[in-house]
Amino acid sequence: GKKLSREYVDKDKPPTAVTYRSTYKALWKCAECDHEWLATLNQRTTSRNPNACPACGARKSAGDEHAAG
């Protein structure tokens, strides 16, 4: 969607040149924390477990562990 297209910041390949099944790892930038990381389009869009920002995910996991303890 729109959020995904805003987070695509790869300068080597435009988003229109990357297909769903491509193995190309594009550069993404989190709209919330500005963290940048590499991931395929498929990793970002899979319905079972979409790959969101790993930095935000790590913070959320750490917060969940502290809440449970």
Q: What is the pLDDT of residues 14-52, one digit of tens each?
A: 999 998 889 999 999 999 999 999 999 988 887 776 778
Which carries the bigger pLDDT value, residue 50 or residue 13? 13
Residues 6 or more apart whose Cβ sits within 8 Å of residue 42: 20, 21, 22
Q: Are 30 and 53 in contact (CB under 8 A)?
A: yes
pLDDT of residue 64: 53
Residue 65: pLDDT above 90?
A: no
Beta strands in the chain (DSSP E): 26-29, 36-39
